[in-house]
């Protein structure tokens, strides 16, 4: 039975600038109101480090030079537009909090940043992912530095789990050790997007991979809460694994372009496409029978969202529309929602 008492681990950082007390109070105030605020805490830690590394900015205020200098650390050629928007928004919220305390602060004009467009992600093929996994496995040799080995093994196993189970990257990062059941070959995803819980059953080879990873980490960090850890034996950072993933993808596929470089969420899309293709595509009689189960496996609230994933590949538009028309009663309800 799934334990509904699980809560997402709240990240706690040590801030060192003259704004440290206000940063702590800002995070704690919002957490008392029921918000997790892990992303905000992470952004403030980055801002705090920037201020400490530039002592002339450590005035106990948040002036324009400080904010603009901090945001300029995230150029658009290295960071996604949505990531830059997020960082700017978190700092702007903190600035508004400081102003409410009569502390001088500059509110960054987030709306002046380039707009975030939901472009179609590049979805790698199964063959590309198998080549990539073999490539990154070469970085897990025992002769490398210990912290280097830990992070590489973590990322290699985590990315395989994300692809095999179609997980959101946040679900893999927040997966606790108690939620991995080796005896039943399953993992429990608790309080995911939309506060939904689900149990996913694993293939034997994937269970064995997780077991070997656990055997590797357990002697190093026997009391860890999360199943996956970073090189410092703490919770994995989304930005770190994203940068690692994209850098290794480009090294593995030197001819790749920004348009042919997948993001972490592309692995979830790839799992959907791979699964439906194994059924025989939309013409298979199994398609409409199995689609509701796949949607539930992914943690989607309705089949429409699962079909959207399949729709990401060019040429599948007609398959999606036909599947809506032919699917069972659950899909018909989704079709009605679409046409409202």
Share of the chain above pLDDT 70, in %: 80
The second-level CATH assignment, the architecture, of 126-260 is: Orthogonal Bundle (1.10)
Residue reference for tokens 């997790």? 36
What b/e string do you get for 226-245 counting C-beta neighbours within 10 Å, with b at 16 or more?
A: bbbbbbeeebbebeebbebb
Q: What is the mean pLDDT of the chain?
A: 82
How does pLDDT run across 152-197, given as a tens digit for each residue? 899 999 999 999 998 989 899 999 999 999 999 999 988 666 557 8
Among the residue ranges 224-233, 268-277, 285-294, the one predicted with the least confidence is 285-294
Read off the pLDDT of residues 275-331 as tens digits, 9 standing for 90 and up: 888 877 666 777 777 788 888 877 777 776 666 666 655 444 334 444 444 444 444
**Regarding predicted confidence, which is higher, 4 or 119?**
119
> Could you count the other beta carbons within 10 Å of the beta carbon of residue 173?
21
Q: 3-state DSSP call for residue 135?
A: helix
Identify the pLDDT of residue 121: 75
CA-nearest of 146, 158, 142 to 220 is 146
């Amino acid at each position: 039975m799934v334990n509904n008492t699980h809560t997402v681990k709240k990240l706690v950082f040590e801030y060192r600038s003259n704004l440290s007390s206000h940063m702590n109070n800002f995070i704690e105030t919002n957490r008392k109101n029921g918000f997790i605020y892990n992303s905000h805490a992470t952004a403030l830690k980055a801002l705090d480090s920037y201020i400490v590394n530039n002592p002339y900015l450590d005035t106990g205020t948040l002036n324009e030079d400080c904010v603009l200098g901090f945001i300029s650390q995230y150029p658009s050629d290295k960071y996604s537009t949505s990531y830059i928007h997020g960082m700017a928004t978190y700092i702007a919220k903190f600035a508004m909090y400081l102003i409410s305390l009569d502390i001088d602060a500059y509110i960054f004009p987030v709306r002046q940043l380039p707009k975030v467009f939901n472009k179609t992600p590049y979805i790698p093929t199964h063959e590309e992912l198998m080549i990539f996994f073999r490539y990154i496995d070469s970085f897990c040799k025992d002769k490398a530095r210990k912290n280097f080995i830990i992070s590489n093994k973590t990322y290699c196993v985590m990315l395989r789990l994300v692809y095999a189970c179609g997980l959101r990257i946040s679900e893999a990062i927040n997966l606790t050790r108690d939620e991995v059941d080796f005896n039943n070959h399953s993992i429990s995803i608790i309080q995911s997007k939309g506060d939904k819980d689900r149990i996913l059953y694993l293939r034997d080879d994937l269970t064995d991979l997780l077991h070997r990873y656990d055997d590797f980490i357990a002697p190093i960090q026997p009391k860890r809460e999360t199943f996956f850890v970073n090189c410092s034996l703490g919770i994995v950072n989304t930005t770190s694994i994203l940068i690692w993933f994209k850098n290794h993808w480009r090294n593995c596929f030197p001819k790749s372009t920004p348009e042919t470089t997948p993001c972490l969420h592309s692995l979830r899309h790839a799992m959907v496409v791979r699964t439906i293709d194994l059924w025989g595509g939309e013409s298979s009689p199994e398609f409409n029978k199995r689609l509701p189960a796949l949607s539930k496996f992914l943690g989607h609230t309705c089949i429409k969202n699962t079909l959207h994933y399949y729709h990401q590949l060019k040429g599948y538009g007609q398959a999606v529309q036909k599947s809506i028309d032919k699917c069972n009663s659950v899909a018909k309800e989704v079709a009605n929602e679409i046409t409202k």
